[in-house]
Each structure stands twice: as C-alpha cells, then as structure tokens.
C-alpha cells in the first residue's frame, strides 16, 4: 500500500533535526579535541542524511507508483490523510479523490461494456464486432444463425473456419460502407445486408457490423433508422468518453517531466487546482454516461398498452385545462376540435397523453421562435376501419428535410438541452398501439404531426 511507503512530514522534520544536532555536537567535540566521539557523531550524521534521502526517494517512488498504478487500472491505493503540511495534505486528498473517481469510472466502464454486450447479444438484428486484426470480439445469436455457426461456441476463429466467404466479406467491409451479400445456407438462399460502423475502445479501433436478411422484407426506412441510431449512439458515446481520455493525459503530464515524476518541491497551487478541475470533469462525464444509459432504458422499457375505451369529449376538455394557462402566457391561439360522431377512443390513455404532451411541448418550442400570430391546433377525427386520427399542427418554422429524416432516431436532437428520446418514445408508443406517427412539414408555414391508431 502507498500509505505504508510514503514519507510522513513529521518523520522528515525529526530526521532533519537529528542531522543538525549530530553535526553541531560533532563540531563542538572536534573543537574540544574529542576526536573519537566527534567521529562517531559525524558518521551518525551521515547515516541520518542517508536516511533522509531514502525517505525523500521513497516519497517520489510512491507518487510514481501511484500514477503507474493508475495507468495499469489499479485504483486500490490510498495516500495518508491528516498530515501536518497543508500543501501536502491537499495534494494527498486530491490524489485520493482522483483514485476514487478513476475507480468509479473503471467500474462504470465495465458495467457499460457488459450492458452493451448484452444489448448486442439479444438484438433482433445480427451484430458482430471485429478488432483491428479482424478477430471476432463479439457476435450475437442472430449473426451466428446467418453465418451458419453455433452460438454456443467460444472459439473466436469458428466463423473463419466454418464460413470463410462470409468472414472474408465482413473483413473487407469498410466503416461507413454497406454491401449486399448473397448467401446459400443449408439449401436456403439468403440476401444479407452488411453495414459497418467504426467504434473506438480506448486506443483500439473496432468495427461494428450489422446484418439483416432483406430477401423477404426489404424495409429500407427501418434499416436506415437503425444505421442512424448506431451513428448517433456512437457520436454520443464518443463525446462522453473523449474528455476522460484527455483529462487523464493532462493529469499524468502534470506530475511527470520527461520520463521522471516531479519532486514534491515542484508541486504548486496551479498543479493542485488543475488536478481538482480534472477530477470535476471526470465526475461530470461519468454522470453524463449514466444519464445516457438511463435514457436508453426509457426507450427500451415502454410498457405494453392497456387498451380501454375512454370518452373523447371529456379528454379534450382535460387537455384544454392543462394547456390554458401556458397558451395564454405565450399568446398562442390554441384550438382542439374533434369529430362529434367520435364518442370514444380505444387506447391506453396514459401513454396517449404522453405522446400528446410531448408533441404539444415541441409545438410550443417551435412557435416561440416566431414573432406575430402563434397557432397550435389539435384535430381528432374518425377514419375507416374503426380507427382514429389525431393531428397536431403549429405555424412555427418549418423543419428542414434533412432534419425530418432523423427526427425519430433515438438521441438525435436539435435542442441545446434536449435528450433526443421524446419523439422516439412517442413513435414506439404508437407502434405498440398498432398505429403510426408521421411528420409533415413543408414550405407552407405549417408543421403537422399525424397520429393514427
């Protein structure tokens, strides 16, 4: 442990005082011609000097050991607390805090890796990960089925042995590219779509490949949405992880000059302040990772709808009451119209309210950007086959076509403080109702979200 090896300031003072006393006494005895005791005291002083240098070198070695341990992901060491030297005490506290935060980051990263590995394994889409040497690091059950290998095998070279053509195709696939792979497996013809995305794990480049059989259902929109999801998730994860790498390098460089660790005499307030700020960045980025995971869980854990009939007129009146004050405050003309022949709606009212609230809040944000007359209009009507349609229209700025293509992709947002999950959750809720959520925004000055169930 570092605490067992580190120099205590009080011990250092005692040794220095002993050196002064020994050499003073030796000098006095030498002046009195007492050469033998003077020599004994002189060599005792040399021994004390040697002990002092040993203690100082032990301190430097301990600090170097601390940072070497951090580089090797060992975060179990602790510096002693409560030493009398205030500057050293602040340094030790910062080091202990840094060690604890690195330990938290390490545990969180291990959890994140296990979490995303579990997601990949249970994905309905075939997914596999290749490292920089084209070794299979991870492959889920669906990808194993496409490749014709056993999902229970732990042999990373099984794919290369059992299906070399399949393996060669994914190795040649460049990040950002996609190919269509024709494949015959057990007398069954498959048409597979491969899409590769580049990820980074510390300083190691990884290639994530998604695989879908598009022979029977070539759902290009869903496939494109999935690709965008990987792109957005990769972007968000890298944004959260990159500062951690930068901070660790900065902190390491603070305490090293060349290949040697700095001495205690070189420590100053600027180093301590930078260390504390670095620790704060690590803490904030850790919270960002936790928030990102929490948002992903919100999308993946939407409950199944409890479908029940509820009164339309009563519901619309409730919506008017909810938004009356907000619309008046922002001078927005707010209208809710419904087909009088539509008496009741079969849906999960709570989940439907969640979608309505999200869409109306987005409309509020949009119309706040314009001057002059502001309008938000909700129209509820019956459509054939005992279904219904809800349209939420606002006269805010139109949404550009390139944004419309990504607006339902999880974690994509144009808002400064947005999470990018509201519209994704809303669309998923409508799918669980066997319905749909669509966007229509043109140059006419009106933007409309259309819900159909």
Q: With 60 as the cut, is the pLDDT of residue 87 above it? A: no
Claim to verify: residue 87 and residue 149 sit in the same structural domain = no
**Over pLDDT 70: what percentage of the chain?**
70
Q: How far apart are CA 106 and CA 99, in angstroms?
A: 10
Determine the Cα–Cα distance for residues 72 and 99; give it in Å rounded to an integer: 12
pLDDT at 3: 38
Residue 247 within any structural domain of the chain: yes
Residue 447 sits in the same domain as residue 389: yes
Residue 329 CA to its chain's centroid (Å): 37
pLDDT at 299 over 60: no
As for how many domains the chain has, the answer is: 4
pLDDT > 50? residue 8: no
Residue 74 lies in a domain: no
Q: Which of 274, 300, 326 is the endpoint of a domain?
A: 300
Are the C-beta atoms of 138 and 120 separated by less than 8 Å?
yes
Range from 156-165, 291-300, 319-328, 337-346 carrying the lowest mean pLDDT: 291-300
Q: Are residues 405 and 334 in the same domain?
A: yes
Domain identity same for 235 and 356: no
Question: How distant, in Å, are the alpha carbons of 117, 210, 333, 361, 405 from that of 368?
Answer: 42, 41, 12, 11, 23
Same domain flag for 235 and 286: yes
Report, as an integer, the average pLDDT of 226-238.
63
User: Does pLDDT of 6 surpass 50?
Assistant: no
CATH number of the domain where residue 317 is located: 3.30.565.10
How far is the C-alpha of 405 from the C-alpha of 225, rounded, in Å? 9
Same domain, 140 and 35: no
Instruction: Say if residue 107 is in the same domain as residue 153.
Output: no
**Residue 170: which domain range?**
125-218
Please tell me the distance from the alpha carbon of residue 142 to that of residue 306, in angstroms, as a whole number: 31
Same domain, 272 and 417: no
Percentage of the chain surpassing pLDDT 90?
A: 10
Average pLDDT over residues 371-395: 91
345 and 422 both lie in a single domain: yes
Residue 379 tokens read as 């129209």
Residue 219 scores a pLDDT above 70: no
Longest dimension (CA), the chain: 123
Is the model's pLDDT at 65 over the cut of 90? no
Between 3-12, 82-91, 290-299, 378-387, the lowest mean confidence (pLDDT) is in 3-12
Boundary-marking domain end, from 218, 253, 274: 218
Note the pLDDT of residue 333: 94
Supply the pTM of this predicted model. 0.41
Domain for residue 76, yes or no? no
Evaluate whether residue 31 is within a structural domain: yes
Q: Can you say how many angstroms the Cα of residue 333 is from the centroid of all Cα atoms in its chain?
A: 40
- Name the more confident of 383 and 90: 383
| Domain final position from 300, 332, 354 | 300
Where would I find the H helices in 32-140? 35-71, 86-121
Instruction: Give the per-residue pLDDT at 360.
Output: 92
Closest CA to 79 of 55, 101, 57, 62: 62
What's the CATH code of the domain at 195?
Answer: 3.30.450.20
- Same domain? For 349 and 405 the reply is yes
Residue 41, in any domain of the structure: yes
| Burial environment of residue 389 by CB neighbours within 10 A (0 to 12, 13 to 18, 19 or more) | middle
Q: Which two tokens stand for residue 2?
A: 């570092």
Identify whether residues 118 and 129 lie together within a single domain.
no
- SS3 (DSSP) at 212: strand
State whether 110 and 147 are in the same domain. no
- The answer to which of 34-43, 159-168, 236-245 has the lowest mean pLDDT is 236-245
DSSP code of residue 266 = G
């Amino acid at each position: 442990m570092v605490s067992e090896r580190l120099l205590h300031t009080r011990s250092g003072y005692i040794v220095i005082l002993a050196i002064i006393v020994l050499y003073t006494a030796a000098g006095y005895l030498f002046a009195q011609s007492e050469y033998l005791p003077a020599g004994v005291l002189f060599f005792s002083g040399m021994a004390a000097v040697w002990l002092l240098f040993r203690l100082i070198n032990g301190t430097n070695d301990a600090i170097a050991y601390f940072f070497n341990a951090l580089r090797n992901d060992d975060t179990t060491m602790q510096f002693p607390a409560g030493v009398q030297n205030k500057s050293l005490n602040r340094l030790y506290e910062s080091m202990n805090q840094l060690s604890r935060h690195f330990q938290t980051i390490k545990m969180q990263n291990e959890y994140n890796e296990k979490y995303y590995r579990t997601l990949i394994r249970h994905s309905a889409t075939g997914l596999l990960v290749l490292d920089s040497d084209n070794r299979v690091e991870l492959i889920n059950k669906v990808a194993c089925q496409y490749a014709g290998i056993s999902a229970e095998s732990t042999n990373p070279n099984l794919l290369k042995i059992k299906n070399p053509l399949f393996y060669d195709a994914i190795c040649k696939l460049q990040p950002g590219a996609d190919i269509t792979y024709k494949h015959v497996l057990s007398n069954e013809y498959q048409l597979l779509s491969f899409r590769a995305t580049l990820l980074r794990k510390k300083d190691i480049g990884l290639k994530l490949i998604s695989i879908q059989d598009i022979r029977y259902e070539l759902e290009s929109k869903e496939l494109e949405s999935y690709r965008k999801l990987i792109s957005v998730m990769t972007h968000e994860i890298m944004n959260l992880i990159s500062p951690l790498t930068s901070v660790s390098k900065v902190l390491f460089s603070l305490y090293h000059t060349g290949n040697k660790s700095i001495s205690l005499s070189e420590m100053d307030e600027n180093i301590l302040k930078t260390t504390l700020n670095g620790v704060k960045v690590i803490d904030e980025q850790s919270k960002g990772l936790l928030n990102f995971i929490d948002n992903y869980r919100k999308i993946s854990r939407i409950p199944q709808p409890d479908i029940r009939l509820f009164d339309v007129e009563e519901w619309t009146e409730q919506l008017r009451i909810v938004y009356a004050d907000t619309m008046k405050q922002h001078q927005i003309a707010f209208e809710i119209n419904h087909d009088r022949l539509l008496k009741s709606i079969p849906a999960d009212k709570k989940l439907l309210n969640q979608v309505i609230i999200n869409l109306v809040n987005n409309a509020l944000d949009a119309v706040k950007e314009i001057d002059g007359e502001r309008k938000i209009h909700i129209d509820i009507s019956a459509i054939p086959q005992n279904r219904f349609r809800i349209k939420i229209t606002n006269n805010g700025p139109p949404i550009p076509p390139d944004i419309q293509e990504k607006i339902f992709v999880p974690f994509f947002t144009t808002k400064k403080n947005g999470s990018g999950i509201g519209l994704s959750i809303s669309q998923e809720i409508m799918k669980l109702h066997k319905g749909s959520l669509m966007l229509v925004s043109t140059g006419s000055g009106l933007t409309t979200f259309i819900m159909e169930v």
